[in-house]
Amino acid sequence: MAAMSSFFLLIIGLFLVFTTTTTSFAELERFEEPAKGADGSLSFLVVGDWGRRGTYNQSQVSLQMGKIGEKLDLNFVISTGDNFYDNGLAGTNDPNFEESFTKVYTAKSLQKQWYSVLGNHDYRGDTEAQLDPILRKIDSRWLCLRSFILNAEIAEFFFIDTSPFVDSYFNTPEGHTYDWRGVTPRNNYIANLLKDVETALRESSAKWKIVVGHHAIRSAGHHGDTPELVKQLLPILQANNVDLYMNGHDHCLEHISSIESPIQFLTSGGGSKAWRGDLKGTNSDDVKFFYDGQGFMSVQLTQTNAEIIFYDVSGKILHKWNVSKELQSAM
Ligand SMILES: [Zn+2]
């Protein structure tokens, strides 16, 4: 009998070792979002650089998001990071979470799941607080991970933690303190992330492949291109037929297309404070649209069409753009 129990304990032990080993080498965490209706269409809003307790027109942008969200019957909302200014959250009990999120995005249409990445400002606080599932008990809409995948049937979204790529945050932090717990050793972190993203993109059979990060790959705004991402991330996106790259960081709205591939670069970083007059190189042919002010973006996807619209702080449409795909028969 004792031998029998030891045998079972051994089996359970082996099972535990096996499962914990596999999860510690797990790929990016995956989430599922069912598409709407039989045609599999999706609609969502994208906003970035927002958390300022409603100030700097954050509340006005939120009001318009609510109205447009009502019209589009949203599936979810995407935040491109710099969720809480100036220095992220101080902890899971920081009132800034409710004051800048729960009490600002109050419209009925925005009571959907929010998928968020971290920005550089978020790394200046207690980074792990924003990732803590306890925040979902305060506001169930909140979901923020460093990097993850969202499968929404016709589209697959790859959320990428871009702050660790930026050399200057490590080499010349200019008086800012970054909470890099969970990111060091940095080179391993970046190498593993790139490998996971490449594998996931390669294996994806989604009609639309959409990558979301905080930092721009291409931008005509204040920060401009992020050379580390141009060098390390962009080749992976180009090799795997990514349709859209969406980011914040520059406090503007912009649409840039690449000459090297069909990938479209979309900045939605106008969630609150804007930097009027701070731009560079907007006369390039690649820059299809640039607005140096507050606002947000909507995306409506079907199997064969993507419609992307930028709105200003009064809800006015600033730029609308469509891309069509051939309907590939599965027969
Ligand atoms: Zn930023």
Residues of the binding site: 49, 82, 85, 120, 214, 249, 251
Task: Please give the distance, rounded to the nearest whole angstrom, from the Cα atom of residue 177 to the centre of ligand 1.
Answer: 14
Please, which pLDDT band fits residue 10 given cuts at 50, 70 and 90? low
Band of pLDDT at residue 14, cut at 50, 70 and 90? low
261-299 per-position pLDDT tens digit: 899 999 999 999 997 777 776 667 899 999 999 999 999
Residue 215 CA, ligand 1 centroid: distance in Å: 7
- What distance in angstroms lies between residue 176's CA and the mean position of ligand 1's atoms? 13
In DSSP terms, 257 is beta-bridged to: 264
> pTM here?
0.90
Residue 327 exposure: Cα atoms within 13 Å on the Cβ side:
7
Catalytic residues: 223
What does the alpha-carbon distance between residue 156 and residue 237 come to, in Å, rounded to a whole number? 13
**Residue 48: predicted pLDDT:** 98
The reported pLDDT for the residue numbered 9 is 57
Whether the predicted pLDDT of 12 surpasses 80 = no
94 Cα: distance to centroid of ligand 1 (angstroms): 20
d(CA 254, CA 268): 7
| Domains of the chain, first to last | 30-324 (3.60.21.10)
Binding residues for Fe cation: 49, 82, 85, 120, 214, 249, 251
Question: For the chain, where are the alpha helices, taking DSSP H only?
Answer: 2-24, 58-72, 96-97, 127-131, 135-138, 167-171, 186-203, 227-232, 234-239
Residue 15 has pLDDT above 90, yes or no: no
Task: Give the residue-averaged pLDDT of 68-75.
Answer: 97
